[in-house]
């Protein structure tokens, strides 16, 4: 049994507020302190190569981990590119970099190669950082660390307040970061996002070590840093909100044509697709199969604000879908590459359903014992796959190999293997 098993039951982790034990943070009874200004003031926005070169030199000469954050314009612009990059490192202070004016930050990425990058919810920022040449070789994810340590609220504001006793401003998280020039209150907010990130990292490392989970966290961080870029989604139009209402293949074709037309327009105009045409309007048109522009204009989402030219382009997309042959129509549903939905297991394979039920119960109990969300202990998809197609001979060695084959880390394999060996031995009731 690991140290984490031993300490989870009597953990003094202050998940309702305050800092981990003995770190000098505020007590649970003290009011948190508002964090209003960066220590050195708001740094100037770096928007030319000369200033960027100075920042690169300063951060290369700095010491310790580097805090990194990025701001996107989700809901305003097409794609997920970065519109501001924030950094902070001991000896270098804080920096705000405009990646629109300085689109190639590979020299900065190279200067920080080998340095531990501290990010909050790293998987959200890594894709946009990768686009501008910034790819960490080592990282510490403070959100994931909070999950592994058992914090019930792991947003950056909640973590900084609960662990360090400071309140971050929350007012500008969803603004349009493509705005130029960026207003001073937004820049202050952005600088404060990295102000205490390394302090938070240090406190969480101490808490993870106290719980016996630090090595687990390191394995998770290494997996994130070494993961290849995700594959493009197949048939992304199928993720249109409200698709569950669309059942006929001809209607599916209308969704596809409208989605693809919208995507081309959004990309050309560099705006969020939802600002071009809402998902609800796409589904409405697919269900109605309008015969002409007048019928289309009567549908929700295509009202009086939609100009004649726009209506004509949407109707043209509908007409293209209506003109397709049966062979050209999309198939309902996506190809299933893994197990069927769990709700179908009882009918398809009752023995597998019994295994899955036992596995879920065992994983849930273990996750509660070590004070961690189930999905961080082991992904639900991995559990389903192993239960649907278990090894021919169920033992610790074969189950461990199956878990490794599905990408489980060594610490997960060690903890979960006994649970699954027991669950896979369950017979149908």
**What is the SS3 string spanning 265-302?**
HHHHHCCCHHHHCCHHHHHHHHHHCCCCHHHHHCCCCC
SS3 129: helix
Name residues whose C-beta falls within 8 Å of residue 365's C-beta, 6 or more positions apart in sequence: none
Contact 170, 157 (CB under 8 A): yes
pLDDT of residue 306: 75
So what's the pLDDT on residue 322?
Answer: 97
Task: Give me the count of residues in the chain.
Answer: 429
With beta carbons less than 8 A apart as the criterion, state whether 62 and 89 touch.
yes
- Between the CA of residue 335 and those of 330, 339, 340, 375, what are the distances in Å? 11, 11, 11, 24
Produce one character per residue of 230-248: b if its CB has 16 or more CB atoms within 10 Å, e if not. Answer: eeeeeeebbebebbeebee
CA 79 to chain centre: 15
pTM to 2 decimals?
0.89
For residue 8, what pLDDT is reported?
41
d(CA 384, CA 404): 14
Q: What is the pLDDT of residue 428?
A: 60
Query: Rounded to whole angstroms, how far apart are CA atoms 381 and 404?
Result: 13
**Residue 283 φ/ψ region, left for φ over 0, alpha for ψ in the -120 to 50 degree band, beta for the rest:** alpha
Report the pLDDT value the prediction gives residue 29, as an integer from 0 to 100. 57
pLDDT < 70: residue spans in the chain = 1-29, 334-336, 428-429
Token pair listed for 151: 């914090």
Show the DSSP H helices in 93-211 as ranges. Answer: 106-111, 122-131, 142-149, 156-159, 184-195, 197-211
**8 A C-beta contact, residue 101 and residue 290:** no
> What's the pLDDT at 12?
37
Q: Hey, which bits of 73-177 come out as E strands?
A: 82-90, 93-97, 116-119, 138-141, 166-167
Distance separating alpha carbons of residues 17 and 31, to the nearest angstrom: 10
| Residues contacting residue 168 through CB under 8 Å, at least 6 positions apart | 35, 156, 157, 160, 161, 192, 193
Q: Distance between CA atoms of 382 and 299, rounded to whole angstroms?
A: 43
Residue pair 314/261 in contact by the 8 Å Cβ criterion: yes
Rounded Cα gap, residues 162 and 17, in angstroms: 4
pLDDT attached to residue 336: 64
DSSP string, 215-232: HHHHHHHHHHHHPPPPPP
Packing angle, helices 197-211 and 142-149, rounded to 10: 30
Which residues touch 250 (CB under 8 Å, ≥6 apart)?
289, 321, 322, 324, 329
pLDDT score for 333: 76
Q: What is the C-alpha separation between 160 and 189, in angstroms, rounded?
A: 14
Asked if the peptide bond before residue 181 counts as cis, ω within 30 degrees of 0, the response is yes
Sign of the alpha-carbon torsion through 117, 118, 124, 129: negative
CA–CA distance, 308 with 292 (Å, rounded to integer): 12
First vs last Cα of the chain: how many Å apart?
Answer: 31
Report the pLDDT value the prediction gives residue 132, as an integer from 0 to 100: 98
DSSP single-letter state for residue 326? G
């Amino acid at each position: 049994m690991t140290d984490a098993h031993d300490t989870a039951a009597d953990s003094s982790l202050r998940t309702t507020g305050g800092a981990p034990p003995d770190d000098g943070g505020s007590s649970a009874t003290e009011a948190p302190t508002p964090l209003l200004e960066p220590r050195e003031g708001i740094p100037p926005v770096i928007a030319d190569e000369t200033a960027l070169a100075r920042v690169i030199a300063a951060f290369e000469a700095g010491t310790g981990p580097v805090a990194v954050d990025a701001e996107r314009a989700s809901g305003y612009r097409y794609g997920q590119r970065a519109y501001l990059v924030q950094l902070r490192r001991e000896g270098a202070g804080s920096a705000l970099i405009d990646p629109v004016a300085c689109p190639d930050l590979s020299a900065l990425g190279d200067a920080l190669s080998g340095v531990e990058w501290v990010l909050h919810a790293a998987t959200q920022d890594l894709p946009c950082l990768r686009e501008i040449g910034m790819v960490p070789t080592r990282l510490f994810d403070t959100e994931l660390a909070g999950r592994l340590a058992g914090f019930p609220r792991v947003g950056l504001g909640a973590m900084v307040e609960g662990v360090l006793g400071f309140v971050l401003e929350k007012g500008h998280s969803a603004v349009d970061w493509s705005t130029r020039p960026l207003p001073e209150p937004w820049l202050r907010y952005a600088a404060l996002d990295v102000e205490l990130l390394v302090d938070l990292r240090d406190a969480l490392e101490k808490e993870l070590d106290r719980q016996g989970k630090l090595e687990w966290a390191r394995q998770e961080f290494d997996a994130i840093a070494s993961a290849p870029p995700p594959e493009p989604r197949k048939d992304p139009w199928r993720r249109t909100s409200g698709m569950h209402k669309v059942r006929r293949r001809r209607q599916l074709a209308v969704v596809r044509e409208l989605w693809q037309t919208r995507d081309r327009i959004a990309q050309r105009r560099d705006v969020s697709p939802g600002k071009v045409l809402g998902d609800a309007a796409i589904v409405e048109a697919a269900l109605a199969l309008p015969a002409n522009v007048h019928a289309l204009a009567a549908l929700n989402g295509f009202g009086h604000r939609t100009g004649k030219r726009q209506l004509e382009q949407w109707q043209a997309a509908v007409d293209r879908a209506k003109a397709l042959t049966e062979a050209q129509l999309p198939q309902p549903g996506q190809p299933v590459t893994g197990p069927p939905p769990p709700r179908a297991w009882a009918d398809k394979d009752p023995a597998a359903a019994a295994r899955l039920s036992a596995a879920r119960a065992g994983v849930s109990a273990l996750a509660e014992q070590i004070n961690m969300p189930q999905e961080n202990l082991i992904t639900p998809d991995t559990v389903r796959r192993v239960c649907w197609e278990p090894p021919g001979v169920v033992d610790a060695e074969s189950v461990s190999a199956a878990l490794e084959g599905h990408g489980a880390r060594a610490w997960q394999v060690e903890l979960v293997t006994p649970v699954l060996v027991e669950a896979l031995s369950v017979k149908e009731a």
